[in-house]
Every structure is written in C-alpha cells, then in structure tokens.
Structure 1
Amino acid sequence: MISTLRSQLARFRTQEEGSVVVPFALWTPLFLILILSSIELGTVTIRQTALERALDDTVRDIRLGSVSDHSAIKQSICDGAAVLPSCMDRLHLEMVSLDMRDWSGVINAADCVDTTAAVTPNRSFTNGNSNEMMLLRACFKYQPITPAGTISSSLAKDAEGYTALVVSSAFVHEPS
C-alpha cells in the first residue's frame, strides 16, 4: 500500500496539468483593475475635454452677443458637450464680474449642483455689461463608472457618490 501511495505521489509531482491556474489567478485581478482604471480615466478625460470645448465655444458666442440668457448658455454648453449624460440636470453655471482695479480674487470652491435637492438655485450669475471682465465657471456632476476603482476612489465625491468636473473661462464683453 505504501508503494502505491509513493508511486501516486511521484506521478502527481511530475504532472504539469493545471500549472497555469495559479499565475492566472494571481494576475487576473491586477489586469482587471488596470483595464477598469483605463476605462475610467478615458471617460473622465473625454468628459472634461468636451466640457472645456463646449464652454469655450459658448464663451465665444457670449462675447459676440448671440447668447446672453442663463438657460441659453446652459443649453449651448450641453449641446456642445453631447457626451455628458443628463447635462441639463447636472450642470451648474456661475458667472461673476471681476474687478481688475480692486482685485479680491475668485472663490476657489465651485458652485455645483446639489444632487440631494430637487432644485439648485443660481447664487451667483450676472450677465455683466460691455467692457466688463467676467468669469464663467461650469460644474458638471457625474457618477464614476467603477465606484470602487483605483482612479475613482481617489476622486472627491459628495454624499450621493457624484464627482465634479469644473471648468472656467474668463472673458471681456465686447463693446455695444
């Protein structure tokens, strides 16, 4: 009986069937994390780029006087950034006048949509006059694709799990 046990153990030791399972089990989670992080980073980059481009195009329209109303500005940005899901609901605009002679700076914290409230009021949105320096800041909130991913776990989130993309642009109104 001992000899048969020895022969079976010797046969088991020399067999190589299933030897790929261990490296596969060790490396697969790492590659999945890498793939999900790449997808998340690509999505954030596309959304940020689209929002910046749409804001720049809209600021050009504001300077030329073709767009001046808050809802028209918001609609113009959302039309220019088609990759932003639920853009009209999750985009919040802030436009403030900048006094270049008495510079008091701009508030660093962006005014974003409160996802827990039904309506978020516009606290600071003024259209400005001709030859006036203005700052337009847009804050878009979105939910990351992989909430537990390596990249999205390092992003700042609110209580609902939303992350904010903030872009801003300064411009001077053209004279009338």
Structure 2
Amino acid sequence: MIRTLAKILRLFRRSEEGSATVEFVLVFPMFMVLFTSAFEAGLMMTRHVMLERGLDMAVREVRLNTGAAPSPDQFKEMICEGAGIIPDCMNNLKLEMRPIDPRNWSNIPRSADCVNTNQPFLPNRNFEAGTQNQIMIVRACSLFSPFFAATGIGFDIPRYSGDFYALISISAFVMEPI
C-alpha cells in the first residue's frame, strides 16, 4: 500500500499537466487589480481635469463679466456646462466662494465643503459675491462613486459621505472694476 502511494506521488510530482493553470490562477488576479486600478485612476483623473476646466471657464466668465455677480445656481450651471463629463453635476457639486484678505489667509477653512448625501439640501458653506478689486477664492467639490469600488485603487480611495469620493477644485481671481 505504501509503495502504491509512493508511486502515485512520484508520478504526480513528475507530471507537468496543469502547470499553466496554476500560473494563470496565481497571476490573473494581480493583472485584474492592476487593470481596474488603472481604469479607476484614469476615470478619476479625467473627472478632475474636467471639473478644473469647468471651474476655470466659469471663473473667467465671472471675472470678466462686469455686470451682476451670479447666484450659486447660475455659477454651478456655468461649471457644469464647461465640465461636461460630470454625472448629475447640479446635484453632486457644491460651491464655496469668499473674499480673501491677502494679509491674512487664516479665514479660509482647510477642508472643503462637499454635498452631504445624507442631508442633500444643506446650503452652501459660504457664497459671497465680491466687490471691485477684491481677491476671491472659489472651491468646487463634487462627489463620485468609484466604478470598481471593491478592487485596487477604488478600494483605497478615502470616502466622503457614504460610498463616494470627493474631487476638489480651487481657483482664485480678482473681481474686475466696472
């Protein structure tokens, strides 16, 4: 009986059948995590670039338009038109605009104010129209759901307000005189 078992084990050890399957099972999960992480990082980067573009276009419009300052909803609409790729932009975007004293930067909160999905109707933290020659800072925060939430970079992204991650864009400008 022991000889038979030893013979079977010897044959099993010499056999090369299934070796490709073992390699595949060991390597495939790593490649899938790499692929999903690359896809998630590319999507996140594209969304962030488009948010930056939308904010820059809206800030340019506000800065050069010497008429009345836009309301928060009008400003959001300008950003969403320029961003294009942001899903449900008007509901997932929260703005903050405030004047800045160039000699005292301490009045700017360190964390951005994002949409709270548990309480979606909370007002903007601060949205003040500036006066002539005043330095203004604008922060836009938009929430996104990871495409592959359980793998790779989608798993490691810091979450905000449930299962979302936040992308924040900041711009500063001077209100032009009339």
Compute the TM-score of the two structures, normalised by the length of structure 1. Answer: 0.89
Q: 1:123 to 1:5 in 2, by over 3 A?
A: closer
Preserved contact between residue 132 and residue 177 of structure 2 (Cα < 8 Å): yes
The residue type paired with residue 163 of structure 2 is G
- Distance across 2 between alignment mates of 1:79 and 1:50: 10
Q: Does 1:83 align with 2:85?
A: yes
Residue 151 of structure 1 aligns to a residue whose secondary structure is helix
Q: Does 1:49 align with 2:49?
A: yes
1:63 corresponds to:
63
Q: Does 1:100 align with 2:116?
A: no
Q: Does 1:171 align with 2:173?
A: yes
1:21-40 maps to which residues of 2 (within 5 A)?
21-40=21-40
- Distance across 1 between alignment mates of 2:75 and 2:3: 86
Residue 90 of structure 2 aligns to a residue whose secondary structure is helix
The residue type paired with residue 115 of structure 1 is T
Q: Which moves more between the two structures, 8-17 or 48-57?
A: 8-17
Preserved contact between residue 116 and residue 161 of structure 2 (Cα < 8 Å): no
Aligned with residue 134 of structure 2, among 132, 143, 148: 132
- Distance across 2 between alignment mates of 1:98 and 1:172: 10
Q: Which moves more between the two structures, 157-166 or 56-65?
A: 157-166
In structure 2, the gaps of 5 or more residues are none
Q: Pick the structure with more helix per residue.
A: 2
**Aligned CA-pair RMSD:** 2.3
Q: 1:38 to 1:142 in 2, by over 3 A?
A: same
- Distance across 2 between alignment mates of 1:151 and 1:7: 48
Q: Percent identity?
A: 41
Counting matched residue pairs gives 176
